[in-house]
Amino acid sequence: MGMTMTQKILAKKAGLSQVKADELVLVNLDLCMANDVTGPVAVNVFEKAGFSVKYPDRVCFVLDHFTPNKDIKSAQQCKRVREFAKKWNIAKYFEGGCAGVEHAILPEKGIVKAGDAVIGADSHTCTYGALNAFSTGVGSTDMAVGMATGKAWMKVPRAHRFNLTGKFGKNTCGKDLILYIISKIGVDGALYGSMEFTGPGVGELTMDERFTIANMAIEAGAKNGIFPGDDKTEAYLRAAGCKDYSFVTPDEDAVYETTMDIDLAEVPQMVAFPHLPENGKTVQEAEAMHIKLDQVVIGSCTNGRYSDMEIAAKVMEGKRVADGVRCLIIPATPKIWTQCMENGLFKIFMDAGCIVSPPTCGPCLGGHMGILADGERAISTTNRNFVGRMGHVDSEVYLASPLVAATSALTGYITAPAE
């Protein structure tokens, strides 16, 4: 019986010739990652158990959620992780001017590569599947055990195939595709499964779009999302300084629970309404509802890369954000921030009346740098719009692409981009 991409990686990392769905396997890990929210919990478990770090070079901490520290508690959390990393000589440690949003900075720096098996104490660790890696979010206890042993038990996920053909129409992108898929299958449509993207349409997607799509696999309940490697993947990995990577492809007789055929040309521009990513409508439907906005957020591990910033800047150049709208621009890493500054994007944003932030997860999880009050509405390029996700429980978050978010910032209402 053939194997999927995910199954091939898990089999190799478990030292097995074959694995099948629902089987429990002990996987050798290439990386364990945590942040300033989940890291302290993992450290507490780790130290209570009396563990020691087996492979310091396979451990990574990125302080990005409540940083720059918003209060005493967040400062204490960062201090806890900082001291732990120093004690155990963990070199892959990112804080301050070296830190960016974890799921953007790790691929950028070549810390994750094709064929790797990665766990992260953050649900959006599935982002790295864009690189043809197996990556998944785990709890802080699993993170602690991973640091101590370099291993993790995994239940081999059942697979769901998304066969992509064609290419996007004007103004449509990867964010629209994943919101469209989730609107069709629901937030539990791939529960504990692997979302495997295949077909000739994959080649039409940029790497940034693949990161966006893999990032939101968890929003369909998936264990991971994964793309095959190709020339674009290889170019990205080489630019990041990666070596000794290997691509996996699915066998022709691999077993899939479901298959969904998608012509990219038929994917509409999407907006996910509160309070679930599955509540998708087309942007034209949303525009007709005349939904007034208080805030716009363009950034995050989902859409905070340079191409996202560039799209927003092209929309805003020479224009002004609507009265009464706060528009936050959050480049995901210092490298992206610098690119935006050097290429004049920040001037465009500032002239338009935006607020430019240092790299941070900040408002995405209702942490800081953009919290909503009761009754306020935001359109955001982030990945979740649960009740209270960005602030008050009586606020609302709408999810969309950078193009739709930037266009809406100028009008003050959810607005479809001009054709």
Mean pLDDT by 10 residues, the chain (419 residues): 95 97 97 96 96 96 92 95 97 93 97 98 97 96 96 97 97 97 96 97 98 98 97 97 95 96 98 97 97 97 97 97 97 97 97 96 91 97 95 97 98 94
- CATH-assigned architecture of domain 270-411: 2-Layer Sandwich (3.30)
Q: Please state, in angstroms and as integers, the Cα–Cα distance from residue 24 to each residue in 157, 192, 260, 311, following that order.
A: 10, 13, 27, 43
Q: Counting every residue, how long is the chain? A: 419
Note the maximum CA span of the chain.
Answer: 61
Q: Where are the beta strands (DSSP E) in 179-289?
A: 193-198, 224-226, 258-263, 270-272, 280-282
The per-residue pLDDT for 418 is: 87
Is 397 in contact with 293 (CB distance < 8 Å)?
no
Predicted pLDDT at 119: 98
For domain 5-264, say whether CATH 3.30.499.10 is its number.
Answer: yes
Strands 59-62, 31-35: pairing is parallel
* The pLDDT value given to residue 1: 77
Instruction: Tell me if the bond preceding 392 is cis, omega within 30° of 0.
Output: no
pLDDT, position 58:
97
Query: What distance in Å separates the CA atoms of residue 376 and residue 369, rounded to the nearest whole number?
Result: 15
Q: Kindly report the backbone phi and psi dihedral angles of residue 4, in degrees, each rounded to the nearest multiple of 5, phi listed first.
A: -80, 175
CA-to-CA distance for 157 and 89, rounded, in angstroms?
34
CA distance 224 to 363: 24
Note the pTM of the prediction, 2 decimals.
Answer: 0.96
pLDDT value of position 124: 97
3-state SS assignment for residue 397:
strand
* CA 336 to each of CA 65, 284, 288, 308, 382: distance values in angstroms, whole numbers, following the listed order: 18, 31, 35, 10, 17
Residues 6+ apart with CB under 8 A from 373: 391, 392, 395
The label of the residue with tokens 């990867």 reads: 174
As a three-state string, the secondary structure of 234-264 is HHHHHHCCCCCCCCCCCCCCECCCEEEEEEH
State the span(s) of the chain assigned CATH 3.30.499.10.
Answer: 5-264, 270-411
Q: What is the pLDDT of residue 419?
A: 78
